[in-house]
Chain A
Amino acid sequence: MTAGSGRKAVLAGLATTVLALAGSLTTAGRLGGWPLAVAAVGVLPFLLMAWGADPASGHRRRARTVVLRLAALWVTGCLAAVFLLAGETAPSWTLLGLPPQLAVLLLLLVVGPLLLLGLGHALTFEDDSPSEPVARAERRLGGG
């Protein structure tokens, strides 16, 4: 994963954070400024994924970048939405019979990234060479 794609994942997280903060100002939720913490925790696994992904080449790397950006945006946004929708002012509509914050948590947070990342991984998979630290350990072992 390139430094550029890592920066894009960070930007995606920051953009979501701004949206979440804007949302918190207009929603009388009980969390005030907490969406910043929510968004930061939400985007953390994706930053790690973007940074730690095994190297791939050409358009597949770009495809991974797109998948990661979408997933980071998706999960952070959903997690922020769960917290923003919480509290006494939560809307009264339901989705599949569930209150909105619960429906967001269960459906979007689980099903969306599963499809994005599961399919994204399969479509961009390449049995490429290992990262350099692991390759050195392999050479020392005489394996791989």
Chain B
Amino acid sequence: MPILDRPLIAWTAVLYLLGMVGIGLWAARRTRSPRDFFIAGQSLGLLVTGLATMSAAFSGFVFVGGPGLTYRMGTSSFLICASVGFTPALLCWTVGRRLRRLAAGADVLTLSDVVLARWGDRRAAGLTAVAVLLGSVAYLGAQIQAVGVVLEAVFGAREWLGALGLPAMMLVGVAVVAAYSVAGGMVAGVYTDLVQGLLMMVAALGVFAAAVGAGGGMERIVESVAASERFGPGFLDPTAGVPLWTALGFFFVFSIGTLGQPQMLHKFFMLKDPRALRWMPLVLGGSQTVCLLLWVGLGLTVPALVASGALPPLASPDEATPAFLLAFAPDWLAGLAFAGLLAAVMSTADSFLNLAAAALVRDLPRALGREPRDEVGRGRWAVAALAIGAAVTAWLYGDLVALLGTFAFGTLAAALAPAMGIGLAWDRVSGRTIALSIACGLGIHLALELAGRLGALPAQLDGVLPSALALGTSLLVLLGAGWLESPNPRGA
């Protein structure tokens, strides 16, 4: 049992968890207004914003689900991260400055506020809030599941709790994230994100080096995988593991869809000085690229180790990362890496808790024409309730971390990317068009996912990603409806 045999790993994780709660308590004293609670008082510099954006974007989906997805479907999964070289510039170039400028107004704290300010349409603002709420709860579910997988491995919970090990560790993770998010709101969120982002980069570099070393070098890793019956040469071909439409869908959704991710867009509101956007693509893209080394390293090495018999076949693909760390990394690196994994998961979870809480206590009431009251107090209660709700969702959904993550990413991409990426910059787009586009993206994605779960998808849609189809439709709806409308000089 790791906690007894290798106490350094377990104590590193415990210290990390206590450290995060400590930052939350410190931040609680700096959280006085809704502006503090939801956008950290709009007081952040380049490094904090850049690393907080990276750590909010990269989550259990990348650190736990990514290597698991590669183990399951081969290097086709790398197409998900292929767009990371240009999405930071896409974000800063097309929406970053616009969102930051709108947030300089008195009453813009969320994406729903942006929609209200830009178009004055309560239906569109309400639909934005619903999309954020749905996507956030699903994303939270993925994070909670991931934190459960990591803590279960660190504390060997399966050995002493059996099947209850995973849900028990999920609860521990939820309790820590909820504690610092309830206390410190987004101030706690971004400062924990800064620490977590640095930890993630160090861990990713260390794990990549250890993984390539354990596999005997990249060439030998590739040879082992190609020669094995279980994986074979097709594993190494990015276009062989999935149908072409799926591969293209990954690229489409994870490039254009980035423009609809509130956990990243929300960070632009928090910049103290918009001139910090100048270096943001390099800070964000560089840190993301470093973190992806963990996915690529473990995604190739773990199958090679399984192929050569050095590691037994995994019971679940999500175990790829913890299984490698426990079997091959030295204790100090395993401890650091597990802290990095927890950091990746929790930094995203706290962002989504905050976003979902804002949707509940601020955006939905405003969309219904009511002025929100006691936003900080109600926001804290909402964070606690959402954490519990998301844990239950994750337990009931019971899917791979990466699949739950792609569902959440797809929901937000299909609903919000056209509105933010094109709507904010195009005079012809009205509030009605925005509402129609969001409703189409959201409705089609949910319907296709549900049909897929029930096995009711038509054969013609085999291999088509539901999120790609939904995003394509909402994009076309916005372009088509906008084309038919006349330019709106009031911008409303």
- In the bound complex, residues from chain A placing their C-beta under 8 Å from that of B292 are 110
For chain A, give the interface size range: 35 or more
Measured CB to CB, the nearest residue on chain B to A131 is B425
- In the bound complex, residues from chain A placing their C-beta under 8 Å from that of B239 are 31, 82-83, 86-87, 101
- Contact yes or no, A121 B92, CB < 8 A: yes
- In the bound complex, residues from chain B placing their C-beta under 8 Å from that of A118 are 88-89, 281-282, 285-286
Within the complex, which residue of A44, A94, A122, A137 is in contact with B256, where a contact is CB–CB below 8 Å?
A: A44
| A31/B244 contact (C-beta < 8 A), A117-B89, A143-B105 known | yes
Measured CB to CB, the nearest residue on chain A to B259 is A48
Asked if B424 is an interface residue, CB under 8 A from chain A, the answer is yes
Distance (whole angstroms) from the CB of A128 to the closest CB of chain B: 9
Asked if B83 is an interface residue, CB under 8 A from chain A, the answer is yes
- Contact yes or no, A125 B240, CB < 8 A: no
- Pick 30 A–B contacts, CB within 8 A, sort by A: A41-B252, A42-B251, A45-B256, A48-B422, A49-B90, A49-B94, A54-B98, A75-B86, A94-B222, A101-B238, A102-B75, A106-B78, A109-B85, A110-B289, A111-B85, A113-B85, A113-B86, A114-B285, A117-B285, A118-B285, A130-B98, A130-B101, A136-B491, A138-B101, A138-B105, A140-B117, A140-B120, A140-B491, A141-B105, A141-B107
Asked if A90 is an interface residue, CB under 8 A from chain B, the answer is yes
Q: Complex: how many Å from CA A120 to CA B93? A: 11
Measured CB to CB, the nearest residue on chain A to B468 is A41
Asked if B111 is an interface residue, CB under 8 A from chain A, the answer is no
DSSP class of B's interface residues: helix, strand, loop or mixed? helix
- Contact yes or no, B104 A144, CB < 8 A: yes
Q: Complex: how many Å from CA A138 to CA B94? A: 17
- In the bound complex, residues from chain B placing their C-beta under 8 Å from that of A97 are 217-222
Q: Complex: how many Å from CA A34 to CA B279? A: 37
Measured CB to CB, the nearest residue on chain B to A52 is B94
Q: Which of B52-60, B270-278, B366-374 contacts A (4 or more CB under 8 A)?
A: B270-278
Q: Complex: how many Å from CA A137 to CA B491? A: 7
Distance (whole angstroms) from the CB of B287 to the closest CB of chain A: 11
Measured CB to CB, the nearest residue on chain A to B108 is A141
- In the bound complex, residues from chain A placing their C-beta under 8 Å from that of B236 are 99, 102
Asked if A119 is an interface residue, CB under 8 A from chain B, the answer is yes
- Contact yes or no, B104 A143, CB < 8 A: yes
- In the bound complex, residues from chain A placing their C-beta under 8 Å from that of B117 are 137, 140-141
Asked if B305 is an interface residue, CB under 8 A from chain A, the answer is no
